[in-house]
């Protein structure tokens, strides 16, 4: 019984963790290659989910095509954001870039609200309400699909960054954009690529999130939580982001099962799940400011 | 030295200004011989946005009816509808705007309980009667001179829900999933009070933070406690999450929710998954008594405007009740209308019948909440409507 | 226009550098005293909000604009000030005149604690740490019996002995006085050794340390000062609105404060004031415009939130792309333009 419960908790933690990991991957990718911490990552997630909802539910397009459309349009949005805004901001101080991404987040929410409204919607997906029964355990298909597809994506990414010319070029730009430029890599193009891929994974995460629950503008909150996953992984390594995301998801799941609803001397724990990610973030920053996999930068005057 | 003198003299000047600008007497705000200004604060822009347009329409159509009948004591009602964004900061801004800028006499409707709490001091200060929608026990116990609720509270409905479950199944194991804000906690307290009264225990209580959409941990706790009825003191998206999770877990558990979810909006979100969902609400589903509904709409001359297929949302009727109570209060207050006489007038409202679509509204000087009764409705996913399964009834649990 | 040459340090360091500035100052003070007699309560209530925002924005500008430490949790310190004063006056019956500095100090104390990690954290790590701090504070306020959760708690009126502050006019004088005092203190501070150390840390912290500025001391001091300001702003806001709920102090408040100082101009006192006025004014202006057009286009009010959000976002992005110095930059350019008019340079 207790074993089953723990497997169940881990399973639901993994399905959320996979989503955090995808979003965190986008964070790290964009941060590493362009030096911009994208606070609008959660909003890109939301836009992806809304586009998928638009095609699948409103236009009745087959589900797979809707997903592909959402991913493609989401990626294009990422490229567009880079060309319109962030290309002009390379080398600006951190507060400026952070604030621009926050401003961008409000713009995206406002546009989404204007186009689709602020209500809660549901995506018509073939996985909804379907389960797989294994012995005494019951797994929701939507969650299972999230985990499987995420793993495939992670593997694809690792192969892309280590084996393909483009991936290596992107990695090189991230390491040192000046030298990469001298080596004949088109740095501007690489930045655009980073934004494209970042928005793409965010879109995928958004669709999964919508499949597990619903589509609404508030879902962009996931972005901030995924940030703690990225911090945990060290902001610098893609592998770290993936592991960070999974840790945050599983910890949240355990906290929700064992701590929520407790009361201690006038303090109600309430739903602790939401704050768990931030508690992790503070702890990591206090103990190991550069994350588990990050390395301390040496700075020169 | 010189600087200090300057600063001292400046602060002296400020102090004089402060003393000099005391309160000044003024006419009764928002009332003239032929007009009285009322405000209706609804959400057009926040998380309760879906409720805004039908609420505003309900208020406007009822006020139009009253004005067509000649108004109250020769005064026509001028209704000002304003967006309050449901959350406290925006509600405060909206209330300031209608009180200071539009100079209204009373706020006939305000959506959102924490926003309503936030504007209570402002209303007290300016002697504005305010009717909050989404009410808590706090509004009648201890209560407030300026706050009237022509509605039930979450506490009452929480009690009613538990009693209904025990009527169906005296041995039921009940678990509750609640939003960990005052809306949810008031429902939780009501449910706890009823459970204590009926000498049972709620076997599991699982909170969630407002805005959460992943309900799997809460549902896991329910499953583990092996409950057979889930009380869901949630908003629409979370109810959706619970129903979805329930199917995902292959679990046949009965779910009963709060008045915030007894709306038709649940059907496009959940589709067939909504089948069998129950909710406690003070409003009779309009589809249950189509003839009576049509008669009421006909009587107020809005049948053509709002149509019958489908009937307007229950929120339409919610705002309607509020302004019916307010107009009744204005009538009782007599021609000499001041905030004080208005409060007295409202306290005289007894058994105000709003067409039998919700319990009758009664205020007394001790009790500023209209009624404690509610009914239970059940979702019929195929026809996309709710129907009554337990009629209007007071909870047996003591409510004070 | 007065001489722009300074012949000694005393002149260069003066708070009000010439007669012109002093004249304007007197005019401003007179204006503030007369103003309430010409404005209605609604307009005064907007001015009061702006005054409170000015105090908070000044604090944040000391931290971000002068010291270069990014904080995304300023709203949490405002909340701490508000709740401290609310609890002290409500539960313990302490008069406002004592609870006001105490609420500032309480916020400052927590600011010092949050400031300690800032010795190790830089740039975005600090930003994220303070962001998380803000969420944790909101969570605590929401779930602690003492703070009464999300229905919030009532706060007493400001009273000095028998005298109570009641009307918007009285609040205006009080808040304007505090805002004025806050501006003076900030102006004084930034021209002192402390202010120059802040700027040195912002510009190059390692170099600053090499020059003998104690990084630890001044970074923590910046956090403390900034939170003190925030606490005072929170205390005033609590007593002004007389009801506090955790929802008023969430991440969006922190973001609004950052927007104020960026819009106004980072690292300038005047900029904080201008930014506070602008960002507080925008939502009111939008409501005003919607109100005007409501009768002709009834559907408009349904889009208020999108307009507010969208305009907010566009302004931030636009400012940072095209006018990074903010309103202060525009002000200075206009000033130079008129000074040298009709010559271009």
pLDDT band at C2 (very low <50, low <70, confident <90, very high): very low
Question: Which chains are adjacent to chain B, needing at least 3 Cβ pairs under 8 Å?
Answer: A, C
| Terminal C-alpha separation, chain A | 60
B60 at the C interface (CB within 8 A)? Answer: no
Q: Which helix (H) or strand (E) holds B193?
A: helix B182-197
Q: Which pLDDT band, with edges at 50, 70 and 90, does B209 fall under?
A: confident
B234 and B334 belong to one structural domain: no
Total Cβ atoms within 10 A of residue A164: 11
Domain match, B144 and B182 both: no
State which H helix or E strand residue B205 sits in. strand B204-208
Measured between CA atoms, the residue of chain C closest to residue A297 is C122
The answer on B364 and B268 residing in a single domain is no
Say which of A120, A218, A256 has its CB closest to residue B240: A120
CB-CB under 8 Å, A37 with C206? no
**Do B87 and B175 belong to one domain?**
no
Cross-sheet strand order for the sheet of B106-111: B76-83, B35-42, B106-111, B129-133
Q: A194 preceded by cis ω (within 30°)?
A: no
- Are residues B133 and B80 part of one domain? yes
Q: Which helix (H) or strand (E) covers residue A238, if one does?
A: helix A238-258
Inside any domain, residue B17: no
Residues B336 and B310 in one domain: yes
**Smallest Cβ distance to B207: which of A131, A214, A261?**
A261
Question: What is chain B's mean pLDDT, rounded?
Answer: 84
Chain A residues in contact with C64 (beta carbon < 8 A): 95
Query: With bands split at pLDDT 50, 70 and 90, how would you rate the model's confidence at B13?
Result: low
Q: Give chain B positions within 8 Å (CB) of A121.
A: 268-269
Structure tokens of C164?
């109570």
B63 and B137 both lie in a single domain: yes
pLDDT tens for the 301 residues of chain A, in order: 788 888 888 988 898 899 999 999 998 888 888 888 889 999 999 999 999 999 998 898 898 999 999 999 999 999 999 999 888 887 777 778 888 998 999 899 889 988 887 778 888 777 776 778 877 777 878 888 889 989 999 999 888 888 888 888 888 887 777 888 888 888 888 899 999 999 999 999 999 988 888 888 888 888 888 888 888 888 778 888 899 999 999 998 888 888 877 777 777 777 787 788 888 888 888 887 777 776 666 555 5
| Distance from C-alpha of C231 to C-alpha of C182, rounded to nearest angstrom | 12
> At C49, is the secondary structure helix, strand, or coil?
helix
Assigned domain for B109 exists: yes
Locus of tokens 């020059």:
C211
Contact (CB, 8 A) for C280 and C263? no
Res C238 pLDDT > 90: yes
Q: Same domain, yes or no, for B164 and B79? A: no
SS3 A61: coil
The CATH number that applies at residue B175 is 3.40.50.2300
Output phi, psi for A260, to 5 deg: -60, 140
Residue-range domain boundaries for chain A: 15-245
The closest alpha carbon to B297, from B289, B284, B307, B309, belongs to B307
Q: What is the pLDDT of residues A250-287, one digit of tens each?
A: 998 888 888 877 777 777 777 787 788 888 888 888 88
Domain ranges in chain C are: 39-250
Domain coverage including residue B201: 155-281+376-393
Give CA–CA dist C21/A140, Å, rounded: 70
Among B64-73, B239-248, C55-64, C285-294, the range scoring the smallest mean pLDDT is C285-294
Query: How many structural domains comprise chain B?
Result: 2
Q: Say whether residue A220 is in contact with chain B using an 8 A CB cutoff.
A: no
| DSSP line for C237-260 | HHHHHSEE-GGGGSHHHHHHHHHH
**pLDDT exceeds 50 at position C294:** yes
Distance from CA of B228 to the nearest CA of A (A): 18
More confident residue, B10 or C193: C193
Can you give the pLDDT at residue B24? Answer: 45
Per the domain annotation, does B61 fall within a domain? yes
Q: Do B180 and B207 form a contact (C-beta atoms < 8 A)? A: yes
Confidence of residue B22 (pLDDT cuts 50, 70, 90): very low
Q: Please tell me whether residues B384 and B235 are part of one structural domain.
A: yes
**Amino acid C54: pLDDT:** 95
- What mean pLDDT comes out for the span C157-167? 81
Burial class of residue C116 (count of CB atoms within 10 Å of its CB; 0-12, 13-18, 19+): middle
* Residue B300 and residue B325 share a domain: yes
Please report whether residue B83 resides in a domain.
yes
Q: Find the DSSP H helices in chain C.
A: 9-13, 19-34, 41-60, 74-91, 96-115, 123-143, 168-190, 193-203, 205-210, 215-241, 251-264, 269-293, 304-322, 326-340
**Which of A106, A54, A79 is closest to A200 using CA atoms?**
A79
Q: Which residues of C touch A266 (CB under 8 A)?
A: 144-146
Q: What is the pLDDT of residue A188?
A: 87
Residue A217 is predicted with a pLDDT of 83
Residues B238 and B382 in one domain: yes
Where residue C335 falls among pLDDT bands split at 50, 70, 90? confident
CA-nearest of C80, C214, C77, C68 to C127 is C68
Position B30 in a domain: no
Same domain, B215 and B356: no
Q: How far apart are the first and last CA of chain B?
A: 64
């Amino acid at each position: 019984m207790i074993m089953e419960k723990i497997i169940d908790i881990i399973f639901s933690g993994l399905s959320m963790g996979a989503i955090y990991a995808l979003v965190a991957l986008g964070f790290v990718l964009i941060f590493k290659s362009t030096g911009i911490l994208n606070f609008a990552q959660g909003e890109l997630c939301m836009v992806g989910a809304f586009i998928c909802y638009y095609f699948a539910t409103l236009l009745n397009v087959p589900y797979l095509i809707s997903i592909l459309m959402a991913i493609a349009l989401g990626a294009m949005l990422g490229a567009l954001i880079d060309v319109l805004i962030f290309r002009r901001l390379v080398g600006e101080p951190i507060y400026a870039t952070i604030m621009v991404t926050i401003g961008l987040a409000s713009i995206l929410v406002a546009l989404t609200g204007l186009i689709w409204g602020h209500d809660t919607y549901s995506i018509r997906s073939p996985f909804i309400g379907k389960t797989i029964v294994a012995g005494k355990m019951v797994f929701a298909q939507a969650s299972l699909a999230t985990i499987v597809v995420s793993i495939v994506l992670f593997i694809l990414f690792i192969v892309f960054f280590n084996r393909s010319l483009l991936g290596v070029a992107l990695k090189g730009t991230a390491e040192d954009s000046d030298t990469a430029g001298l080596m004949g890599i088109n740095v501007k193009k690489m930045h655009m690529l980073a934004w494209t891929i970042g928005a793409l994974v965010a879109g995928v995460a958004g669709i999964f999130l919508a499949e597990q629950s619903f589509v609404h503008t508030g879902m962009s909150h996931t972005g901030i939580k995924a940030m703690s996953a990225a911090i945990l992984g060290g902001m610098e390594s893609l592998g770290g982001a993936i592991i960070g995301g999974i840790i945050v998801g599983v910890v949240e799941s355990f906290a929700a099962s064992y701590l929520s609803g407790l009361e201690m001397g006038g303090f109600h724990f309430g739903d602790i799940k939401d704050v768990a990610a931030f508690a992790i973030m503070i702890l990591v920053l206090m103990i190991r400011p550069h994350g588990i996999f990050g390395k301390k930068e040496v700075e020169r005057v | 030295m010189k600087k200090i003198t300057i600063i001292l003299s400046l602060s002296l000047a400020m102090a004089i200004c402060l003393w000099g600008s005391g309160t000044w007497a003024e006419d009764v705000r928002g009332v003239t011989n032929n007009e009285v200004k009322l405000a209706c604060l609804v959400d057009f822009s926040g998380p309760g946005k879906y409720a805004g347009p039908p609420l505003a329409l309900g208020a406007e159509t009822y006020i139009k009816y009253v004005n067509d009948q000649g108004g109250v004591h020769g005064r026509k009602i001028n209704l000002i509808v304003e967006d309050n964004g449901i959350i406290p900061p925006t509600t405060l801004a909206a209330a300031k705007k209608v009180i200071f800028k539009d100079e209204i006499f009373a706020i006939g409707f305000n959506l959102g309980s924490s926003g309503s709490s936030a504007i209570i001091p402002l209303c007290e200060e300016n002697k504005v009667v305010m009717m909050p929608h989404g009410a808590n026990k706090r509004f009648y116990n201890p209560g407030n001179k300026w706050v009237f609720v022509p509605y039930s509270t979450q506490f009452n409905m929480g009690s009613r829900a538990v009693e209904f479950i025990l009527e169906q199944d005296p041995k039921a194991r009940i678990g509750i999933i609640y939003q960990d804000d005052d809306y949810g906690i008031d429902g939780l307290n009501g449910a706890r009070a009823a459970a204590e009264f009926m000498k049972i225990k709620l076997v599991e209580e699982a909170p969630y933070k407002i805005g959460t959409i992943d309900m799997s941990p809460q549902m896991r706790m329910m499953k583990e406690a092996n409950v057979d009825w889930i009380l869901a003191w949630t908003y629409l998206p979370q109810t959706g999450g619970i129903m979805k999770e329930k199917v995902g877990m292959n679990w046949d558990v009965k779910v009963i929710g709060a008045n915030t979810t007894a709306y038709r909006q649940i059907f496009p979100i959940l589709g067939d998954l909504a089948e069998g969902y129950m909710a406690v609400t003070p409003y009779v589903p309009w589809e249950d008594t189509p003839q009576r509904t049509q008669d009421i709409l006909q009587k107020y001359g809005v049948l053509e405007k709002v149509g019958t297929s489908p009937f307007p949302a229950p929120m339409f009727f919610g705002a309607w009740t509020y302004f019916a109570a307010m107009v009744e209060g204005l009538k009782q207050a007599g021609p000499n209308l001041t905030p004080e006489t208005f409060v007295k007038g409202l306290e005289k409202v007894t058994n105000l019948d709003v067409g039998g679509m919700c319990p009758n509204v009664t205020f007394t000087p001790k009790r500023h909440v209209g009624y404690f009764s509610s009914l239970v409705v059940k979702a019929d996913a195929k026809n996309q409507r709710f129907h009554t399964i337990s009629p209007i009834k007071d909870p047996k649990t003591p409510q004070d | 226009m007065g001489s722009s040459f300074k012949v000694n340090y005393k002149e260069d360091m003066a708070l009000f550098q010439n007669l012109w500035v002093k004249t304007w100052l007197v005019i401003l003070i007179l204006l503030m005293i007369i103003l309430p007699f010409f404005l209605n309560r609604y307009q005064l209530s907007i001015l009061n909000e702006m005054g409170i925002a000015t105090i908070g924005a000044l604090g944040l500008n000391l931290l971000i604009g002068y010291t270069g430490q990014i904080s995304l949790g300023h709203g949490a310190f405002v909340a701490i000030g508000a709740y401290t004063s609310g609890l002290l006056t409500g539960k313990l019956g302490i008069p406002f005149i004592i609870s006001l500095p105490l609420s500032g100090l309480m916020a400052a104390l927590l600011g010092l604690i949050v400031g300690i990690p800032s010795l190790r954290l830089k740039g975005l790590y600090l930003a994220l740490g303070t962001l998380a701090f803000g969420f944790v504070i909101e969570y605590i306020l929401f779930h602690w019996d003492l703070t009464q959760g999300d229905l919030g708690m009532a706060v007493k009126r400001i009273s000095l002995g028998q005298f109570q502050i009641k009307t918007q006019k009285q609040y205006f004088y009080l808040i304007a006085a505090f805002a004025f005092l806050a501006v003076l203190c900030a102006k004084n501070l930034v021209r002192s050794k402390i202010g120059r150390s802040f700027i040195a840390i912002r510009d190059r912290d390692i170099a600053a340390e090499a020059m003998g500025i104690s990084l630890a001391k001044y970074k923590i001091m910046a956090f403390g000062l900034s939170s003190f300001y925030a606490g005072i702003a929170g205390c005033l806001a609590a007593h002004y609105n007389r009801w506090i709920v955790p929802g008023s102090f969430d991440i969006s408040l922190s973001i609004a404060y950052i927007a104020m100082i960026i819009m106004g101009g980072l690292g300038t006192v005047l900029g904080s004031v201008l930014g506070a006025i602008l960002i507080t004014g925008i939502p009111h202006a939008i409501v005003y415009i919607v109100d005007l057009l409501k009768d002709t286009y009834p559907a408009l009010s349904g889009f208020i939130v999108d307009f507010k959000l969208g305009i907010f976002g566009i302004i931030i992005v636009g400012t940072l792309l095209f006018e990074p110095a903010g309103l202060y930059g525009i002000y200075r350019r206009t000033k130079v333009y008129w000074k040298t008019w009709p010559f271009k340079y």
